[in-house]
Amino acid sequence: MTNDPARDPKGDEERLKEFYRTSDEYLQKNLASHGKEYFALYIERVCRYVPKGAHVLDLGCGTGVSCVLLAERGFKVTGVDISDKFLDKNLTGECVQLVAADAKALPFPDGSFDAVTSYEFMEHVFGVEGVLDEMIRVVKPGGLILVLSPNLLSPFLPLKNAIGLIRGRRPIGVAGETIGAALRMVFGNALISVSKLASKGVSFRYRDPDLTRPGEADADSVYLANQVDIRRYLRGKGFALVGGSEGHSPFGEVIAHLFPWMCGECCVVAKKGSGST
């Protein structure tokens, strides 16, 4: 897999978009299995940070199930996905609107939403800064951006994969096909993350997506999602950070508190200032 900080080739981006626009297999083997339990963490985070009654833009919403679940919790929701094929228009209603659109060219006026949120979406796009710029544009001053994804630069993901391979389990597609590859990724991810912390800048890194395994979680991911990039980018645009990654076990909570860049969860919650660009 390519791991290139400068990568954003137009051809690869268009190929990925076309895959999402046309893949019945991805819809059936991946998105169709996402029910209420799958979105539980996402719904909890949105409810924690976004006031009830707010107008939420749910970016990369897939079929739109997450939009319905948010609407049931008292939000007005507009869901956006690049694929009209994925969107289940039967889910639309008084509080749910579903729109097929590119996240880097949203068809909404500036300041349209109280909050812009995404769940396991950001890792699936090239040109992350373009998506973040659109999220910034369409959220109101004082509104929130919430990004929740796996941290694909966490050393714990390939470590978990290596342990699973030793025990005879199937490999996690983005964390090494063999024990040796997984262990190399443990050290590689740690080194990349440390270099990001040391650089003080923003450097979005990308990988080659594997579109031949539509049922394998995150095999199609392209952006090596991590909280360091997204936090710094939003802070540089005048946002204040109001929430971040958390652990889901006592050990995970310690890691998230002491070394948030290592946490397996990439979560950033940021509030737009009046002077944000």
Local confidence band at 170 (pLDDT 50, 70, 90 cut-offs): confident
With 80 as the cut, is the pLDDT of residue 9 above it?
Answer: no
What is the band of 5 on the pLDDT scale with cuts at 50, 70, 90? very low
- Residue 218 has a pLDDT of 85
264 within domain boundaries: yes
**pLDDT band per the 50, 70, 90 thresholds, residue 10:** low
Q: Name the least confident of 167-176, 189-198, 230-239.
A: 167-176
Is residue 144 within 8 A of residue 267, CB to CB? The reply is: no
pLDDT per residue over 135-160, tens digit each? 999 999 999 999 999 999 999 888 88
Instruction: Flag whether 54 is in a domain.
Output: yes
| Bridge partners of residue 241, in order along the sequence | 270
**Distance (Å, rounded) from C-alpha 218 to C-alpha 203?**
21
Residues 267 and 245 sit within 8 Å (Cβ to Cβ): yes
- Whether 176 maps to a domain, the answer reads no
CATH code of the domain containing 244? 3.40.50.150
Entry pTM? 0.91
In this prediction, residue 3 carries a pLDDT of 47
**Position of tokens 């956006």?**
80
Nearest to 103 by CA among 127, 119, 86, 87: 127
- How confident is the prediction for the chain on average, in pLDDT? 90
Can you tell me the distance from the alpha carbon of 43 to that of 41, in angstroms, rounded to the nearest whole number? 6
Structural domains counted in the chain: 1
Share of the chain above pLDDT 90, in %: 66
Mean pLDDT value of segment 229-243: 95
In a domain, 32, yes or no: yes
In a domain, 247, yes or no: yes
Please check the confidence at residue 121 and state whether its pLDDT lies above 80: yes
User: Can you tell me the distance from the alpha carbon of 202 to that of 232, in angstroms, rounded to the nearest whole number?
Assistant: 7
Domain span at residue 265 reads 10-150+202-272
The pLDDT of residue 158 is 87
Residue 120 lies in a domain: yes
